[in-house]
Amino acid sequence: GAVVSQHPSRVICKSGTSVKIECRSLDFQATTMFWYRQFPKKSLMLMATSNEGSKATYEQGVEKDKFLINHASLTLSTLTVTSAHPEDSSFYICSLAGKRGSYEQYFGPGTRLTVT
Amino acid sequence: QQQVKQSPQSLIVQKGGISIINCAYENTAFDYFPWYQQFPGKGPALLIAIRPDVSEKKEGRFTISFNKSAKQFSLHIMDSQPGDSATYFCAASMKNSGYALNFGKGTSLLVTP
């Protein structure tokens, strides 16, 4: 499988501030990365699909101006939560697919965001 | 709208027993069905996956059974161990939607010593 890292693993921020979460592929080039959020004891919900060099595709109900996604290289995608509010507190997890057309997705360790 | 329905929500199995988790889907365009294992505070880890052209796949103690006509698939964990205690998610994806995963709601498995 692929090795995926996320940074930071935990972050606490004040309401109204912005937070950037990085997702890195450590051992191969990821053409597609996905961002999910997971509330406590709930399932993973897809937020957006990020393809290298193009704009992210957001799922219905996910505000693209609030959750900014940048996939600038084949090994790095970032998610910026802008003007965070307490309801944005969640576990954010990225995943990546390897070869173009690959079904397999490998997940990062997740980032716990707490907005106070 | 939950595209993949998973049951049971929670499961308690004795050590050495068989854990069985079931999932059902409606969209016949799905063509990839993985199972993920997640420990608290960690990201999901891919356990095993199946494509619809086979009815069963086994990897170690983990087996996926797939019934295309019934649109159901299940995970069997043989000889369950306390270390298997985790949350398990089934999922489904298809090429037409960029391989994005649609997850079930998860099953919390507890294996008692």
What are the chain B neighbours of A106 within 8 Å (beta carbons)? 46
| Whole-angstrom distance, CA of residue B14 vs CA of residue A100 | 42
Residue B15 φ then ψ, to 5°: -55, 130
Closest residue to A109, CB basis, from B32, B43, B101: B43
What chain A residue is nearest to B90 in terms of C-alpha separation? A43
Closest residue to B105, CB basis, from A6, A43, A95: A43
By CB neighbour count within 10 A (0-12 exposed, 13-18 middle, 19+ buried), where does A116 fall?
A: exposed
Tens-place pLDDT, residues A45-80: 999 998 887 889 999 999 999 999 998 888 899 999
| Whole-angstrom distance, CA of residue A29 vs CA of residue B112 | 41
By CB neighbour count within 10 A (0-12 exposed, 13-18 middle, 19+ buried), where does A89 fall?
A: middle
pLDDT of B12 > 90? The answer is yes
**Pairing verdict, β B107-112 and B10-14:** parallel
Tens-place pLDDT, residues B16-70: 999 999 999 999 999 999 999 999 999 999 999 999 999 999 999 999 999 999 9
